[in-house]
C-alpha cells in the first residue's frame, strides 16, 4: 500500500494549528479554533490504526508494544524537562501544575484532575491519555476474529461514551468524554477507505472544504456544544475529504509539508517548552510587540523541528529499526503521531 500523503499533510497542519493556538493564547489572540488540531489528530489516529491492522494477522502484544515504544520515550523526556522547568522557573509555565503525584501520574497517563479534566505535567499531554486508552481498547479487540473487530471496536467506543452520562465525577467520567467518538469516526473512515469507497475529486475537496468552513464558523456556535460535534465532526469531514480526494487524484508530496507531518509528534510535544525558550529570546532581544507573536511562533516551530531531528528521529531508529527494502509498508508516512 502506498503512503497517504494527505494524512501526512494534515498531521503537520494539525500540529502547527495547536502551536498557533497556544501562541495566540499567550497574546490574547483569537485563534482558539487552532485547538481543533487535536481533534484532527484523534480522527487520523482512528483511521491509521484501522488501516494499518485490517487484513493482517493479529498480534495484540506487538501492536501495544509498538504504540508504547513510539509514544512513551519522547513523552517521558518532555515530561522530565517540563517538570524541571516548572521547578526552576515556575513563572514561565503558567497553568502548569507540579506535584509528586501529578509527576508520577503523568508518566503513566493518569494525571491529576482539575475541574474534571486531565491535567498532566505536559499540559497538552492530556490527549495522549485518550490515545493510550484507545490503543488499549484496540489491542483487546485484536484478540477477536477479524470479522468481529469493526463492530466490536466501534460499539465499545460508543458504549464508553454512553457511560460518561451516568458516571460520577472522577477518572472514569473523564476518560469516557465524548471526544472518544472521534477515534471511532476515524475507524469508520478507514474501513470505508479500505473497502475501496470512492468520491469524485470535487466531492472529496468539497467535503474537506466543508470541514474547514465549519471549523471557521465554530466560534459562532454555542460554547457549551460538545467538542465531538463542535470540532470532531468538522475534523472527520476534513480527514475523509482529504483521503478520498487523494484517492481520486494521487499527487507527489512536497518536501516541507511531508517533513512537518514527520515532525508533528515532536512539534506537538515540544512546543510549549520551545515556546518558553522562544519567548525568553524575543523578550531579551527587545523586539517590538507587534512582531513578537510571529517571531515566537517561527522560533517555536523551528526549535521543535530541530528537536525532532536530534531526539525523536534517533529514538525511532533505535526502537523501530528500518524494515528491509521491499517489505510491505502500510502507510508508514501517514502514521498518526504514534502509528508507527
pLDDT in tens, 256-268: 999 999 999 999 9
Q: Is 118 helix (H, G, I), strand (E, B) or coil?
A: strand
Q: Which of 59, 30, 49, 8 is nearest to 251 (CA)?
A: 8
Q: For the chain, how many helices (H) and strands (E)?
A: 15, 2
> Which cell goes with 263?
515532525
| Mean pLDDT on 187-195 | 97
Other beta carbons within 10 Å of 96: 18
The answer to whether 121 and 106 have CB atoms below 8 angstroms apart is yes
Q: How confident is residue 246, by pLDDT bands cut at 50, 70 and 90?
A: very high
- pLDDT tens-digit readout, 199-217: 999 999 999 999 999 999 9
Q: Is 209 helix (H, G, I), strand (E, B) or coil?
A: helix
Residue 251 is classified by DSSP as -
Q: Which of 163, 139, 179 is nearest to 42 (CA)?
A: 179
For the chain, the structural domain boundaries read: 5-334
| Mean pLDDT on 103-129 | 96
Other beta carbons within 10 Å of 70: 22
Phi, psi of 113, rounded to the nearest 5 degrees: -100, 135
Which pLDDT value is given to residue 323? 57
Q: Please, is 148 exposed, middle or buried when counting C-beta atoms within 10 Å of its C-beta (0-12, 13-18, 19+)?
A: exposed
Report the alpha-carbon distance of residue 77 to residue 71 in Å, rounded: 11
Amino acid at each position: 500500500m502506498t503512503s497517504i500523503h494527505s494524512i501526512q499533510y494534515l498531521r503537520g497542519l494539525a500540529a502547527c494549528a495547536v502551536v498557533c493556538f497556544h501562541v495566540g493564547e499567550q497574546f490574547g489572540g483569537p485563534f482558539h479554533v487552532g485547538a481543533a488540531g487535536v481533534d484532527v489528530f484523534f480522527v487520523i489516529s482512528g483511521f491509521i490504526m484501522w488501516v494499518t491492522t485490517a487484513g493482517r494477522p493479529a498480534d495484540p502484544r506487538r501492536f501495544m508494544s509498538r504504540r508504547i515504544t513510539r509514544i512513551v520515550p519522547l513523552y517521558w523526556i518532555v515530561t522530565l524537562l517540563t517538570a524541571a522547568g516548572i521547578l526552576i522557573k515556575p513563572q514561565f509555565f503558567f497553568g502548569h501544575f507540579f506535584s509528586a503525584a501529578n509527576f508520577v501520574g503523568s508518566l503513566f497517563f493518569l494525571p491529576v484532575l482539575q475541574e474534571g479534566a486531565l491535567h498532566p505535567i505536559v499540559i497538552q499531554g492530556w490527549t495522549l491519555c485518550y490515545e493510550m486508552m484507545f490503543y488499549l481498547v484496540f489491542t483487546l479487540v485484536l484478540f477477536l476474529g477479524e470479522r468481529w473487530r469493526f463492530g466490536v471496536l466501534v460499539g465499545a467506543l460508543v458504549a464508553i461514551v454512553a457511560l460518561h452520562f451516568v458516571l460520577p465525577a472522577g477518572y472514569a467520567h473523564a476518560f469516557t468524554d465524548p471526544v472518544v467518538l472521534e477515534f471511532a469516526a476515524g475507524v469508520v473512515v478507514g474501513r470505508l477507505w479500505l473497502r475501496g469507497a470512492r468520491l469524485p475529486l470535487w466531492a472529496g475537496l468539497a467535503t474537506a472544504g466543508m470541514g474547514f468552513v465549519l471549523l471557521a464558523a465554530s466560534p459562532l456556535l454555542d460554547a457549551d456544544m460538545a467538542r465531538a460535534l463542535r470540532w470532531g465532526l468538522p475534523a472527520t469531514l476534513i480527514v475523509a475529504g482529504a483521503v478520498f480526494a487523494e484517492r481520486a487524484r494521487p499527487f507527489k508530496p512536497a518536501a516541507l509539508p511531508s517533513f512537518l507531518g514527520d515532525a508533528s509528534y515532536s512539534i506537538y510535544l515540544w512546543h510549549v517548552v520551545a515556546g518558553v525558550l522562544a519567548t525568553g529570546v524575543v523578550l531579551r532581544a527587545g523586539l517590538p510587540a507587534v512582531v513578537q507573536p510571529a517571531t515566537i511562533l517561527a522560533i517555536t516551530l523551528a526549535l521543535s523541528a530541530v528537536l525532532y531531528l536530534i531526539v525523536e528521529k534517533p529514538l525511532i531508529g533505535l526502537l523501530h529499526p528500518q524494515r528491509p527494502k521491499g517489505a510491505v509498508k502500510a502507510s508508514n508516512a501517514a502514521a498518526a503521531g504514534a502509528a508507527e
